Structure 1
Amino acid sequence: MAAEVLRIYESDPDPSKIDQIVRLLKDGGIIIYPTDTVYAMGCDIYQNRAVEKLSQLKGMKAQKNNFSIVCSDLSDIADYARVSDKAFKVMKKAFPGPFTFILPATNKLPKLLQSNRKNIGIRVPDHPIPQAIVNALGNPIITTSVKDDVDDILEYPNDIEIIIDQNTHKADLIIDGGWSGITPSTVVSFLDDYPEVVREGLGDLDDL
């Protein structure tokens, strides 16, 4: 079954459409949505079947996933990850923004997301649509980048028509939020209380 496509304007996300997305997420649906970096695919972190399905789509076992989660703000993060004072100071400057911080996970994180690594990636995108979704849902959603299945040069598609064409049978709903970037977030490990850039992306750690 082809995914439903829902047009949402970044400048003013329609609350009724956000509510529709939240209902789908609570029912175990998978969505594709825009962020401040690239388009992402995700689901409600508490819907185990959706997490398992998303893992299969990414070609991995749920227990060995490397998913990150989108939180609403810094206060929300403390429920799912242990944040040192040093990490908090850096993240306070970084969020919302194009960074993913890898932190030690807490026990409140659903078991399917507590992989053998015992850590979790945290995102707070500077984008109204995922912010509105997470706030309305009341808990984080998974974020994993949508990659181009065909183009060997452009790893992350930014044309919504290409995203729809390649993912219409993977997701239940695709949010058309217009063009996106083609550069993913900068991934920073903060497991040893010292920031280490794991992947260079859109965010510049030196600016923090």
Structure 2
Amino acid sequence: MKPVFPDTNAIAHAADLLRKGRLVAFPTETVYGLGADASNPDAVAGIFKAKGRPTDHPLIVHIADIDSLADWASTVPDAALKLADRFWPGPLAMILNKKPEVPLAVTGGQQTVGLRMPDHPVALALLKSFGGGIAAPSANRFCRISPTQALHVYEELGNSVDMILDGGACQVGVESTIIDLSGNKPRLLRPGLITSQEIADILKTDINIPQASKPTEIRVPGMMEVHYAPSTPAMLYPAEQLPDRIRLLQTSGKKCGLLSCQLEITETSQLCVLRLPQQADAYAQRFYAALRELDSLQLDLILVEKPLQTEPWQAINDRLRKATTAYLHSL
């Protein structure tokens, strides 16, 4: 089904589809989600089938308000309430110990559940109309570029989705921060717009950040070594190395794309250049769409200028590292 404008009737119809165990794609402030009734294991199984996603990969449950935390978590720690009060609705998912009745299909077989309240009027209207939790990973094929526009969902998943609500371009553009509150100490499991320092400031405690080489035992979305990746091979380079690399590739007859944020390089018949903003939040908002645009051009290679390594860029660098890993490992 092609995307539809999310008026009152469309949202009511989408909620009814969810009650019937069907799949609905909807916008959030981060990326578009592929939603199913989180209390219905058969409906949740449809998400994994549509995405080609392994069933041991947990899903985040989207909820309409802070009070709904108690519907899914066996206990709601003070830390969760403090973070929800400060950042919800918003791009923060919290990992809590689940209630026994929460389907293992949602949690990837784990005893923890990811919960968040999205900051998008269409998502919130759908949640309120539906009246329950909506399990929703990104609405794309497993490990591919996340969708930030309704058209991206349609192009990638097509008729495997029963309805696509078109809420325009996502304003944040990268997936939510994930913080694990199921143990004794808060742990950052996935970086996002909300930084570990902002979380530490609210909780008045240090945040444990597991090393990439020592993954946490809690499985969460976005932890694959290769993720968010285009079909076209992609490579990440510091700005100072790009001119020589581009000259070498053009000499060999390669057609390339370049995502640049600071470097000024002239576009040629062999080089398509897309410039992204130099501010981290604006870069994030446009990043996935730009990567998709280059991926659609049947290029030989996509080059990406390595951004700054400061905390505001942490989420972007995380996505870039995973989007370019596959090709780097083949060299």
Q: Is the structural similarity TM-score above 0.5? A: yes
Q: In which range does the TM-score fall when normalised by the shorter chain?
A: 0.7 to 0.9
Q: Say whether 1:35 aligns with 2:62.
A: no
Inter-partner Cα distance in structure 2 for 1:90 and 1:53: 31
CA contact (8 A) 1:149 1:166 kept: no
Q: Alpha-carbon deviation of 1:4?
A: 4.4
Percent identical: 26
Q: Say whether 1:170 aligns with 2:160.
A: yes
Choose between structure 1 and 2 for higher RCO, CA contacts under 8 A separated by at least 6 residues: 1
Q: Say whether 1:189 aligns with 2:180.
A: yes
The match for 1:131 is: 124
The match for 1:106 is: 99
Inter-partner Cα distance in structure 1 for 2:113 and 2:65: 15
Letter in 2 for 1:85: D
Q: Say whether 1:5 aligns with 2:38.
A: no
Structure 1: runs of 5+ lacking an equivalent: 9-13
Residues 124, 79 of structure 1: CA spacing in aligned structure 2 closer, same or farther, 3 A cutoff? same
Q: Alpha-carbon deviation of 1:111?
A: 4.6
Q: How many residues align?
A: 197
Query: What do you get for the CA RMSD once the two structures are aligned?
Result: 2.2
Residues 45-64 of structure 1 mapped to structure 2, 5 A cutoff:
45-60=38-53, 62=55, 64=56
Superposed structure 1 runs of 4+ greater than 3 Å apart: 58-62, 147-151
Given candidates 39, 44, 48, the residue that maps to 2:37 is 44
The match for 2:72 is: 80
Inter-partner Cα distance in structure 2 for 1:47 and 1:95: 25
Q: Alpha-carbon deviation of 1:46?
A: 2.7
CA contact (8 A) 1:87 1:193 kept: no
Inter-partner Cα distance in structure 1 for 2:83 and 2:147: 30
CA contact (8 A) 2:25 2:35 kept: yes
The match for 2:147 is: 157
Structure 2: runs of 5+ lacking an equivalent: 203-331
CA contact (8 A) 2:52 2:142 kept: no
Q: Alpha-carbon deviation of 1:19?
A: 0.9
The two structures have a TM-score, normalised by structure 1, of: 0.85
Inter-partner Cα distance in structure 1 for 2:47 and 2:146: 18
Inter-partner Cα distance in structure 2 for 1:148 and 1:72: 26
Q: Deviations over 1:156-186 (max 9, x none)?
A: 2324323211111221111111111431111
CA contact (8 A) 1:4 1:172 kept: no
Residues 85, 162 of structure 1: CA spacing in aligned structure 2 closer, same or farther, 3 A cutoff? closer
Q: Alpha-carbon deviation of 1:148?
A: 6.6
Q: Deviations over 1:105-134 (max 9, x none)?
A: 012323533543211100101111111111
Letter in 1 for 2:59: F
Q: Computing the radius of gyration over CA atoms, which structure comes out larger, 1 or 2?
A: 2
Q: Secondary structure at the match of 1:100?
A: strand
Q: Alpha-carbon deviation of 1:150?
A: 10
Inter-partner Cα distance in structure 2 for 1:199 and 1:61: 19
